[in-house]
Amino acid sequence: MLPWDLEDWLTEEGDKAVRIVAAQSRDALDADTRLLYEFWLFDTEQRNGGVSQYFCNNGLAHWDVLLRLASPALPSFTAFAAKVDEVVGRSDDPYQSVIHSAIDLDAWYSQHQTRLVTELRAAVGPATK
């Protein structure tokens, strides 16, 4: 579970990014805000229904965007993502891959969440205006 300051920050900044996407599009986001948005999307889906829900609702296309944006900006993301990729790979159905895996990606995310959000906040700060 995230410390309250990180939870509040991610919720508030994520809300700002979502509003921009709703009013315009993802293409309207600058690079930092796009990273924030893609990470917020992963975090929100995971907390609502698990990593499987993220892949059910978003598929590999969003995961690929998050990988591209987060890998250089968040030092801990590479280790986290390697375990996710071990499960989903290039699966035709990453949702089913997560559901049927012996690897508990939700527990894996819980182990990395605070560090990842801390790195995200350091990388993007108050990303949206």
User: What local confidence, expressed as pLDDT, does residue 128 receive?
Assistant: 54
Contact 9, 121 (CB under 8 A): yes
Q: Exposure of 43 by Cβ count < 10 A (0-12 exposed, 13-18 middle, 19+ buried)?
A: buried
User: What local confidence, expressed as pLDDT, does residue 40 receive?
Assistant: 97
User: What local confidence, expressed as pLDDT, does residue 125 receive?
Assistant: 80
User: What local confidence, expressed as pLDDT, does residue 107 receive?
Assistant: 97
Q: How many CB atoms lie within 10 A of CB 128?
A: 19
- Residue 24 is given by DSSP the state S
Amino acid at 18: V
Q: What is the pLDDT along the chain (129 residues), one digit of tens a residue?
A: 899 999 999 999 999 999 999 999 999 999 999 999 999 999 999 999 999 999 999 999 999 999 999 999 999 999 999 999 999 998 999 999 999 999 999 999 999 999 999 999 999 987 555
Amino acid at 80: F
**Of 76, 79, 21, 87, nearest to 52 (Cα)?**
87
Q: How many CB atoms lie within 10 A of CB 103?
A: 14
